[in-house]
A and B are shown apart, each in its own frame.
Chain A
Amino acid sequence: MAGISIAREKCTGCEQCVNACPFGQISIVDDIAMIAEGCTLCGACVEECGAQAIVLQRASVEAVDLAANQGIWVFAEQMDGQVRQVAFELLGEARRLATTLMVPVSAALLGFGCESAAQQLIACGADRVYVLDDPSLAHFNDETHVDVLAQLIEQHKPEIVLIGATTFGRSLAPRVASRLDTGLTADCTLLSIDRETGNLLQTRPAFGGNLMATIVCPNHRPQMATVRPRVMKALAPDPMRAGEIIHPAISVTPPRSTHVLAVDKSLGDSVNLTDAEIIVAAGKGIGSQANMALVHELAHVLCGIVGATRAVVDAGWTSYDHQIGQTGKTVAPKLYIACGISGAVQHLAGISSAEVIVAINKDPDAPIFQSAHYGIVGSVEQVLPALIAELRGITAKKTSIDSR
């Protein structure tokens, strides 16, 4: 029987485990650690214990033929025949993992009239592209995409399947994993191979990015993970790369229970925060709804997208599509400019993958400055116009050189 226990004779009552428990389930009673019933058996305390007094007994699992599964697969999500950037990023990562495992990298491309994208996938790292070209796959549909991808995986048995943590990917992946009765790790930010076991080490943020967890799926195949966009690096496309395009024998049946009636992409670029390289976000500290115009203008000058905190959305200054944070979107831009954002942990949870954070806030003690690379203490009304003017100046300088 699986379970966790304290070896009372070893426990020194040092409290290391109390601090290590992400769920606050350990306390010291009479100088001995006690684990409460809310324990999730996550094992965080086990390695923290210097006295090796915590024993986590995992259930023994019947031997599974893991060697039957080989190769790394990437789900090549596409929209209107255009493969999403995250798929190229995953191919780059898959190639890196493949050099350790010495296995081929494949892409699964499901769509209609998307054949031309297969060459792009090869150029960006795929050795094989499994193409399913069918009118029923023209637009993402949970029912048909799950059916087809699960069948493909069962037929070709990859050992690893990587899927972008997009809206569709986060809907598709858990359902496919559930159908295959295998493990899935969500929103990974780091992947590597355990050289001893060959297992995929999947690292993801938990508790709003305050804690990182490394997860394995040792006894089930494939090992599945969703990966956040903009975290992994795509390879530069090499049009000379050779690869194989395969048309698997899978019958695609039209959906019976799930129908996509209408697709509205009009919000498209203006709110695609997930893929955005530059985000200018507003917090309640901008002072008034009128100042949203400055935020929009700065975003415009930077070719960025406007984001907002929950407080700003709740105040009705902008729509929910723009909300970033725990109850909104998770973003990973190269540049994140936080205007009048105090930096509540719920908001920071959504921007933990941002490369560079700039904070503009009139309160020098705002927690956002702790997370920011660059900070300006000042009011948004004064700083933003200065920043906009400066950026415009730079553009003009270059243009005038060009026109000479």
Chain B
Amino acid sequence: MSTLQIIACVKQVPASTEVKLNKETNTLIREGVEAIINPFDTYAIEEAVRLKQQHGGKVTALSMGIPSVAELLKQTVALGVDEAVLLSDRRFAGADSLATAWALAGGVRQTGAFDLVICGKQATDGDTAQVGPSLAEKLGIPHTTYVRSIEHVDEKLIRCIRLTDDGQETIEMTLPALITVVKDINVPRLPSIRGIRQAQSAPVKLLTADDVNADEKRIGLKGSPTQVVKTFIPAQTTESELFTGTPTEQAKQLVAKLVARRLVQEGEADGRD
């Protein structure tokens, strides 16, 4: 049986529940922005650890971020990750998805030979879902997004099921390959007490731009083709109208509004078969 060298990519994101809007001042309310592992990446880590348990091998968690991300990476060790690697350098800052992919590719190559890279389908702060496919391109390996289950892995190939807009597909790729995973793929384990204790002293390998021989023109703000020129709070134009009365009266008022707005048409066919 072959063993697998797996890399799980991890991003630190703000805990999304902290992002709320102050309706009066139209600003984001941030009460002590707690940093967490991107929820989708927890499925990536879990899947990597499960594959290692089935096939043997090694799981490396790889992230790019500020030095304090090292503390988050230690948590992954408690979940079964063997090695944690953090790309951290001011020169990486301000990266868009292309520059991020470039930097991560350098990090992946640093870890040596690998069979599989697993990413969460997207990060909850940016929601772009671009870094996975972009990273696969920089590594020159095939990729499949939105993977809901892995059917088979051996030394040569991976067969997985990916979600599509119409259903699902079975995809086979030669290894090494990259997949991005959806929440459906597993239920992440909780760390054991022993794991948490061990993780506290786990080493995190820090890599600078020089360590991964990064071309300064390709990383960070300099390597980012896209620039944010403006951010603004979307206008809240929603005027709520509440209907009162008995359920039937409420329903009548609502349906009248929906008909008036042509959302429901009189005589519309009753359902599809």
Contact = CB atoms under 8 A, between A and B. Distances in A.
Nearest to B266: A398
Contact of A267 (B20, B167, B247, B269): B167
A72 interface: no
A89 B269 CA distance: 26
B207 interface: no
Given A2-B94, A41-B94, A326-B124, A387 B254 contact: yes
B268 A395 contact: yes
A257 interface: yes
Interface stretch (B70-78, B195-203, B236-244): B236-244
A185 interface: yes
A36 to B, nearest CB: 8
Interface residues of B, number: 104
Contacts of A259: 171-173
Contact of B182 (A174, A209, A320, A370): A320
A291 interface: no
Interface string A252-275: 000011111111111111011011
A212 B94 CA distance: 18
A52 interface: no
Contacts of A98: none
Given A187-B127, A303-B271, A215 B142 contact: no
Contacts of B189: none
Interface of B is mostly: mixed
Interface string A177-214: 11101111111000000000000010001111111111
A58 B93 CA distance: 12
Interface stretch (B46-54, B79-87, B227-235): B227-235
Contacts of A386: 246-248, 250-251
Interface of A: 2-3, 19-20, 22-24, 37-44, 47, 58-59, 79, 142-143, 146, 166-168, 170-175, 177-179, 181-187, 201, 205-220, 256-269, 271-272, 274-275, 278, 300-303, 320-321, 323, 326-328, 334-335, 345-346, 349, 352, 356-358, 369-378, 382-383, 385-387, 389-392, 394-395, 397-399, 401-402
B171 A261 contact: yes
Interface string B131-170: 1111011100111111010000000000100111111111
| 9 pairs of A and B residues whose beta carbons are closest in the complex | A398-B267, A183-B225, A41-B94, A267-B167, A183-B226, A174-B130, A178-B137, A186-B128, A24-B33
Contacts of B98: 177-178, 181-184
Interface of B: 14, 16-17, 19-21, 23, 25, 27-28, 30, 33, 39-40, 66-68, 90, 93-94, 96-98, 101, 124-134, 136-138, 141-146, 148, 159, 162-174, 177, 182-184, 220-222, 224-234, 238-243, 246-248, 250-252, 254-255, 257-259, 261, 263-264, 266-272
A187 B122 CA distance: 12
A68 to B, nearest CB: 16
Contacts of A335: 258, 263-264
Contacts of A385: 247
A208 B248 contact: no
Contacts, number: 330
Nearest to A297: B271
A264 B167 contact: yes
Contacts of A258: 142, 144, 171-173
A275 B133 contact: no
B169 A264 contact: yes
Contact of B143 (A19, A142, A382): A142
Contacts of B167: 263-268, 271
A216 B226 contact: yes
Contacts of A175: 133-134, 136-137, 143
A139 B119 CA distance: 25
Contact of B228 (A42, A372, A377): A42
Contact of A369 (B14, B130, B222, B240): B240
Nearest to A59: B222
B127 A2 contact: no
B254 A358 contact: yes
B120 to A, nearest CB: 10
Contacts of A377: 242
Given A219-B225, A303-B268, A394-B259, 16 more contacts: A2-B94, A20-B231, A22-B231, A23-B14, A37-B67, A142-B133, A174-B97, A206-B125, A212-B232, A216-B229, A217-B226, A262-B170, A303-B272, A371-B238, A376-B251, A402-B267
A43 to B, nearest CB: 5
Contacts of A257: 141-142, 173-174, 177
20 contacts: A177-B98, A183-B224, A184-B226, A186-B127, A206-B125, A208-B124, A211-B232, A214-B230, A215-B229, A257-B173, A264-B169, A303-B269, A320-B148, A357-B238, A358-B258, A382-B247, A386-B251, A387-B255, A394-B255, A402-B267
